[in-house]
Structure 1
Amino acid sequence: MDSQRYTTKAILATFLSVASLVSAAPFEARGAIGSSAGFRLIATVVDSSKKLSVPIEGAALQGAHVGAGLNTAVLNATTAGQIFYQNGTTEDVRAGKSNILTDEGTPLYPYGLGLPLNETDPTSPVVASINGGSGTLGVSLEATTSLTPGVLHYGIAGFMACDEALAYYGPSWKFAVVKAFETTKEAPVIPENCVQINLHPLCATLPTLPAGSYSSHKFANEVFCYADAADIK
């Protein structure tokens, strides 16, 4: 597929040389660090004094089905979460044109992490998605220092999780819905039902694709990631 280009080896040297991250809130890396082509995305809450009705500290990113080939990005503390991989050739990653994919369906098909920022109101958060296709170009894992795994990064976007219902499931079922917002020079305004988050990679084995899959891991990037979820703090 023309929209799906990968690189077999991670550009670990690229991550080693990255400067500080613009959009993510500061955090300190601890514990064992590994590298893997597959990873789960684990949330940490920036302001631990704020709580949602569903627990999200240490929760994993996954899609909540809302239609054919459509998933709203949510955090779930009761499941392991989906396995993602960073997609892009060496040049794509260097040029900031990579994306984050997972595999779904039968046969398996690439589903991309979508982070559409609000262009008319930069301060208004937009619901993230994990839909069939390539997702948003420019999404990557970017390191804050040369010795730590990256955090999910997209330009000047920040991320929050919001205590909300999804129309597909009815008003009584609450989700931690992941949203992207454009950061500015001023401190972001986080709604009362939301908390600001960072999303960190937890090493995971990228599954072997069965015959007939539309997905391809031929050029999946190998990235720095945490070996143990307990070290993501």
Structure 2
Amino acid sequence: MAFSMFKSCTTLALTSLFLTSTAAPTTRQAPNYAPTSQSDTFKVIANVTGTDLPQSVNGWALTSYHLSAGAGYAVLVDPTTPSRDFYINGTASEVRFNSATVASDGGSPPFPWGMVVNSPANTVSINAGLGEQGLGLTIFPDPVPKLHGPASAGWYACDAALPSGDAVQLFSLPLGDTAPAGCAQVTLLPQCTEGDGVEHPFANTVNCYPDVAGIDWTVYSA
């Protein structure tokens, strides 16, 4: 009887082990990212990732705030206000090694204006010229194209009293820092545009979103 019971238990154990080893393997769900398109010009759209400002800046666009001849601050404006188209200016090698610039056209005839991060205040300017090397859009393997700064963790926006009136001013967020109280931490996303018809010999075709405001981020991995 004892031998028979031992034999039965052994058979059950082996059967269980066999069923476990032959069960269908667990499948890992692939990440799901918001679809992108491509263009060589784009708007820069704010996506609030934390506390917002009293007047929400989610979906607002980046443009320049005039300070003086050839100089301006980077600010966010509501979607009904005209804003700048940007492009990534540089050779393929410069883009690859993070030494391209983020530029926009202005003036008549059009000439380039570029983004610059000003240390140590971390204000962001859009000044006449091609801008500061090291700013650009993230590329493969990052699945989410977004604006990055030189050695910065991201961006934040604050209500500011500027010389010609109040505005929502953009700042660079250094690595290891958090946005100051009363400001909104934002991710800056490229939204494809058709451009203004100006030829840019070193403008790069980039991944961008057709409509940032229309993305439901809750259904995507990032």
Q: Common fold, TM-score beyond 0.5?
A: yes
Q: CA deviation at 1:156?
A: 2.6
Identity across the alignment (%): 32
With normalisation by structure 1, the TM-score equals 0.72
Equivalent residue, structure 2, for 1:12: none
Show the 5 A alignment for 1:8-157: 29-30=33-34, 32-47=35-50, 50-77=51-78, 78-118=80-120, 125-143=121-139, 145=141, 147-148=143-144, 150-157=145-152
Q: Which fold has the larger relative contact order, with Cα–Cα distance below 8 Å and residues 6 or more apart in sequence?
A: 1
User: Is 1:190 matched with 2:209?
Assistant: no
Find the partner of 1:204 among 167, 188, 193: 193
Segments of 5+ residues of structure 2 without an aligned counterpart are 1-31, 218-222
**Compared CA separation, residues 145 and 91, structure 1 to 2 (3 A):** closer
* TM norm structure 2: 0.76
Contact 1:104 1:110 in 2 (8 A): yes
1:179 aligns with 2:171: yes
- Matched residues in 1 for 2:170 and 2:142: separation? 27
Structure showing greater radius of gyration is: 2
More helix per residue: 1 or 2?
2
In the alignment, the residues of structure 1 paired with residue 117 and residue 200 of structure 2 have an alpha-carbon distance, to the nearest angstrom, of 22
Going from structure 1 to structure 2, the CA distance change for 1:232 and 1:110 (only over 3 Å counts) comes to farther
Runs of 5+ in structure 1 lacking a partner? 1-27, 119-124, 210-215
**1:54 to 1:71, Cα distance in 2 relative to 1, 3 A:** farther
CA RMSD of aligned residues (A): 1.9
Aligned partners of 1:68, 1:58: CA distance in 2, in Å? 29
> Deviation at 1:144?
7.1
3-state DSSP class of the match of 1:138?
coil
8 Å CA contact 1:61–1:81 kept in 2: the answer is: yes
Choose 136-145 or 69-78, whichever is displaced more: 136-145
- Name which of 208, 215, 221 aligns with 1:231: 215
